[in-house]
């Protein structure tokens, strides 16, 4: 997919280092409520090794041969009151080169990946993100389907999108992401090891 001088393609293994650098730069200056440190680059690193990672929905945006954006999808689930699980997707991080924020690169990545997810047969996406931004893609509060976070919370930034109308139903449930999200948020020692190596690598230019 391309638009003017922006091309979207599947991420390759040779892109990993560049994408992690991009992800860190994209989130480093963002003011996100409750965040104590920038760890989205760590999440990108973890997701690629998680069994719920979906490589067919891991896209980069390029301009003149430079990677300027990335979106990563992984599988998640809604745990129903009866204990059954309904499969869905979650995307993130969505990273765009800071100089290109608000220039449509993120929109291109999201729209392209949602179209592809629908083509691959996925039926719903759940995310946390800015409501005013994600409404434009059709996301609504997950509470509209009775879905909460794993610990039972419901808030405006927790949103859902049905790719197949009626798929989520009204039975409700709790949102469970893959293990990479839990490690990213809770294993501070693993994050410190990764970030130290990341910083050393990028400081040395290797």
Domain interval for residue 138 = 2-204
Cα-flanking dihedrals φ and ψ of residue 63, to 5°? -135, 120
In contact, 85 and 78? CB cutoff 8 Å = yes
pLDDT confidence of residue 36: 58
Which whole-number Å values give the CA distances from 101 to 3, 9, 107, 141, in the listed order?
16, 19, 10, 25
Task: State the pLDDT at residue 1.
Answer: 54
- pLDDT per residue over 96-134, tens digit each? 999 998 899 999 999 999 999 999 999 999 999 999 999
Whether 156 shows a pLDDT value over 90: the answer reads yes
Quote the number of domains for the chain: 1
Residue 2 has pLDDT above 50, yes or no: no
Asked whether the whole model's pTM tops 0.95, one would answer: no
Q: Are strands 147-149 and 173-176 parallel, antiparallel or unpaired?
A: parallel
Instruction: Convert the pLDDT of each residue in 165-175 to its tens digit.
Output: 999 999 999 99
| CATH number, domain containing residue 176 | 3.40.630.30
3-state secondary structure of 146: coil
Helices (H), the chain: 16-28, 40-47, 105-119, 131-134, 179-186, 188-204
Q: Please give the Cα distance from 47 to 179 (Å, whole number).
A: 9
Structure tokens at 43: 């999440």
Mean pLDDT, the chain, integer = 92
Residue with tokens 């050393």: 200
- If one counts every other C-beta atom within 10 angstroms of the C-beta of residue 112, the result is 18
Q: What is the pLDDT of residues 49-97, one digit of tens each?
A: 999 999 999 999 999 999 999 999 999 999 999 999 999 999 999 999 9
Q: What is the pLDDT of residue 121?
A: 98
- Cis link prior to 136 (omega < 30° from 0)? no
For 176, the enclosing helix (H) or strand (E) is strand 173-176
């Amino acid at each position: 997919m391309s638009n003017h001088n922006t091309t979207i393609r599947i991420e390759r293994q040779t892109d990993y280092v560049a994408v992690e650098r991009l992800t860190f730069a994209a989130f480093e200056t963002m003011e996100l409520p409750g965040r104590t440190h920038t760890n989205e680059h760590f999440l990108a690193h973890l997701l690629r090794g998680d069994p719920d990672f979906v490589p067919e929905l891991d896209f980069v945006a390029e301009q003149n041969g430079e990677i300027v954006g990335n979106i990563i999808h992984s599988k998640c689930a809604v745990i129903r009151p009866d204990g059954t699980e309904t499969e869905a997707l979650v995307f993130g991080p969505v990273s765009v080169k800071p100089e290109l924020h608000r220039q449509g690169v993120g929109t291109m990545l999201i729209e392209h990946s949602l179209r592809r997810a629908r083509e691959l047969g996925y039926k719903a996406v759940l995310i946390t993100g800015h409501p005013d931004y994600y409404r434009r893609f059709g996301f609504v509060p997950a509470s509209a389907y009775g879905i909460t976070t794993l610990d039972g919370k419901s808030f405006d930034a927790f949103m859902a999108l049905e790719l197949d109308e009626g798929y989520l139903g009204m039975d409700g449930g709790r949102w469970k992401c893959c293990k990479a999200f839990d490690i990213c948020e809770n294993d501070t020692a693993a994050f410190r090891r990764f970030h130290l190596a990341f910083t050393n690598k990028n400081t040395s230019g290797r």
